[in-house]
């Protein structure tokens, strides 16, 4: 069977393509810009890529076009598909019909922490010998890929857990396609659902937090009565969401009545202590992500002690406080943070590493659709208040980042040019500094530029 994927170079659709190819489908695809690293990954799988959405791709005559949410009405290929009456579906629907059906789905939803928690949970199941399938919105270092089909069981062990087929998925609330404005995650029908948190985001498609809460409620409605929802007890929006209706088993984390820590690291549930969490990732937010993953794994029979043992070997996720290099005592980190809450958590995690007066230098690009619209500008100052120095790049924005950063005074500086920004950061940085670069995009390869500039400075 042949599928042709529109928007194939996005993280999610690229993962769908990899799963389809592994399942034996003939896969071709197109995107507005076909470039590495995703293009290289896809071509290595034997997937033919076409740049641009020309209507003549209709001549490929696939059995089905799979359309990503980056494609809008007016797109020439989408219009040709509609005019021809050709078969089409969305990425989430294709995944539900061809991969998730008959699987035990473990889904991780939330405004923040989805990628890390999904990666942790996947690694725990892998460590326990369950060989899960997965689709993650990033690359877990332990796997080196963002998606795979997995296996029903690995032949080892005779427990019920080893005889089931599991699939772990990062459950995104973004919309599905131009013809399906529901959130992607309503297609996944999980039996185990983690709700990490709920905050306003995606200002390009949601007018307010209530509209996002409604989508989360729709997700909750898909969990069977024998399924389990594991939710963050500290999140008021999730409390409201579950109050709208919940028909499944429930467990809480970040609560003395649920999964929590005794001291900083002892994992406790119901008065039973399972061991000390040793996680090579800083920050309370990551410890809470780990608690959620431990609870979710327990639902399918993985002992919490085994999960704690697995997480001690968890290697993290690319672009989540990933150390990209160190020059002259200056450590340069890459992080995907783009929402004020995530930015604050990232800065806080690095501040916890300070023991001898080291500085945290924050470099950020307000690139997400929500940031581009200026919906979060009033919260930027508070999110960066703990950083010792703040550098922003605001090229092409329609609002004044420098004005938003005025409360930070001389600690903050805004630039319209990446080269000038890089030179300023390199000039400021000194031995012992932690420089964290935050963006949900490539940020014009500033990580390599900065490391090169630091090497030049140290000569």
Same fold, 2-91 and 322-458: no
Return the CATH superfamily for domain 2-91. Answer: NAD(P)-binding Rossmann-like Domain (3.40.50.720)
Residue 377: count other Cβ atoms within 10 Å of its Cβ. 18
Q: Is the pLDDT of residue 335 over 90?
A: no
b/e per residue, 83-107, with b = 16+ CB within 10 A? Answer: eeeeebbbbbbbbbebbbeebbbbb
Q: Is the pLDDT of residue 339 over 80?
A: no
Q: What CATH number does the domain located at 102-311 have?
A: 3.40.1190.10
Q: Is the pLDDT of residue 388 over 80?
A: yes
* Of 315 and 83, the one with more pLDDT: 83
Q: Is the pLDDT of residue 222 over 60?
A: yes
Worst-scoring range by mean pLDDT, 119-123, 163-167, 314-318?
Answer: 314-318
Q: Who's near 115: CB < 8 A, 6+ residues apart?
A: 136, 137, 138, 170, 317, 320, 336
Return the CATH superfamily for domain 322-458. Answer: Mur ligase, C-terminal domain (3.90.190.20)
Q: What is the pLDDT of residue 146?
A: 84
Q: What is the pLDDT of residue 396?
A: 73
Whole-number Å distance between alpha carbons of 97 and 363: 42
Helices (H) and strands (E) in the chain, counts: 15, 23
* Of 442 and 310, the one with more pLDDT: 310
Q: Who's near 125: CB < 8 A, 6+ residues apart?
A: 106, 131, 132, 166, 168, 297, 300, 302
Please, which pLDDT band fits residue 35 given cuts at 50, 70 and 90?
Answer: low
Helix (H, G, I), strand (E, B) or coil at 216: helix
Helix (H, G, I), strand (E, B) or coil at 392: strand
DSSP one-letter string for 87-105: -EEEHHHHHIIIIITTSEE
Q: What is the pLDDT of residue 254?
A: 92
Please, which pLDDT band fits residue 418 given cuts at 50, 70 and 90?
Answer: confident
Q: Domain spans of the chain?
A: 2-91, 102-311, 322-458
Looking at the DSSP bridge assignments, the partners of residue 334 are 322, 437
Whole-number Å distance between alpha carbons of 104 and 132: 10
Q: What is the pLDDT of residue 333?
A: 87
Q: What's the mean pLDDT when you consider all of the chain?
A: 88
Residues 177-194: tens digit of each pLDDT: 999 999 999 999 999 999
Nearest to 229 by CA among 96, 108, 99: 108
Residues 365-381: tens digit of each pLDDT: 887 766 666 667 777 87
CA-based torsion, 335, 336, 339, 342: positive or negative? negative
pTM strictly above 0.85 = no
Q: What is the pLDDT of residue 77?
A: 98
Residue 398: count other Cβ atoms within 10 Å of its Cβ. 8
Percent of the chain with pLDDT over 70: 94
Helix (H, G, I), strand (E, B) or coil at 458: helix
* Alpha carbon distances (Å) from 187 to 180, 184, 446: 11, 6, 37
Nearest to 224 by CA among 186, 187, 191: 191
Residues 114-159: tens digit of each pLDDT: 888 999 999 999 999 999 999 998 777 778 788 999 985 444 555 6
Please, which pLDDT band fits residue 163 given cuts at 50, 70 and 90?
Answer: low
Q: What is the pLDDT of residue 154?
A: 42
Q: Is the pLDDT of residue 398 over 70?
A: yes
Average pLDDT over residues 157-173: 79
* CB-based contact 151:30 (threshold 8 Å): no
Q: What is the pLDDT of residue 370?
A: 66
Residue 403: count other Cβ atoms within 10 Å of its Cβ. 9
| Mutual angle of helices 284-299 and 304-311, in 10-degree steps | 140
Average pLDDT over residues 98-112: 94
């Amino acid at each position: 069977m042949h599928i042709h994927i529109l928007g194939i170079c996005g993280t999610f659709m690229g993962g769908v393509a990899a799963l389809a190819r592994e399942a034996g489908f003939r896969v071709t695809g197109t995107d507005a810009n076909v470039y590495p690293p995703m293009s290289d990954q896809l071509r290595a799988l034997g997937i033919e890529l076409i740049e641009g959405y020309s209507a003549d791709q209709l001549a490929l005559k696939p059995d089905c076009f799979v359309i990503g949410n980056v494609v809008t009405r007016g797109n020439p290929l989408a219009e040709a598909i509609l005019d021809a009456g050709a078969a089409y579906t969305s990425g989430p629907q294709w995944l539900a019909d061809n991969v998730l059906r008959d699987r035990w789905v473990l889904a991780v939803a939330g405004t923040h922490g989805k990628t890390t928690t999904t990666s942790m949970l996947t690694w725990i199941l892998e460590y326990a010998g369950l060989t899960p399938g997965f689709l993650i919105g990033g690359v877990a270092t332990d796997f080196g890929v963002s998606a795979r089909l997995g296996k029903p069981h690995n032949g080892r062990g005779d427990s019920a857990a080893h005889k089931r087929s599991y699939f772990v998925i990062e459950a995104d609330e973004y919309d599905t396609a131009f013809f399906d404005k529901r959130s992607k995650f309503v297609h996944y029908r999980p039996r185990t659902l983690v709700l990490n948190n709920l905050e306003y985001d995606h200002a390009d498609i949601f007018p307010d937090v209530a509209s996002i809460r409604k989508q989360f409620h729709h997700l909750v409605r898909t969990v069977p009565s024998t399924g389990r929802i594991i939710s963050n007890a500290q999140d008021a929006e999730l409390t409201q969401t579950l109050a709208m209706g919940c028909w499944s088993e429930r467990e809480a984390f970040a609560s003395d009545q649920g999964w929590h820590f005794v001291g900083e690291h002892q994992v406790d549930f119901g008065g039973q202590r399972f061991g000390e969490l040793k996680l090579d990732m800083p920050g309370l937010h990551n410890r809470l992500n780990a608690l959620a993953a431990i609870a979710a794994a327990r639902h399918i029979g993985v002992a919490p002690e085994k999960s704690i043992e697995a997480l001690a070997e968890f290697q993290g996720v690319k672009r989540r406080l990933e150390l990209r290099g160190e020059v002259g005592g200056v450590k340069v980190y890459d992080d995907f943070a783009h929402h004020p809450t995530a930015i604050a958590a990232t800065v806080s995690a690095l501040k916890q590493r300070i023991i001898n007066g080291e500085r945290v230098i924050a470099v950020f690009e307000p690139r997400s659709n929500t940031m581009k619209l200026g919906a979060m500008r009033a919260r930027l100052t508070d999110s960066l208040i703990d950083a010792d120095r703040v550098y922003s790049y605001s090229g092409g924005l329609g609002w004044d980042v420098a004005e938003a950063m005025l409360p930070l005074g001389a600690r903050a500086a805004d630039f319209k040019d990446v080269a000038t920004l890089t030179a300023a950061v390199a000039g400021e940085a000194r031995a012992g500094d932690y420089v964290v670069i935050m963006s949900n995009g490539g940020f014009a390869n500033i990580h390599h530029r900065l490391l090169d500039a630091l090497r030049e400075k140290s000569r």
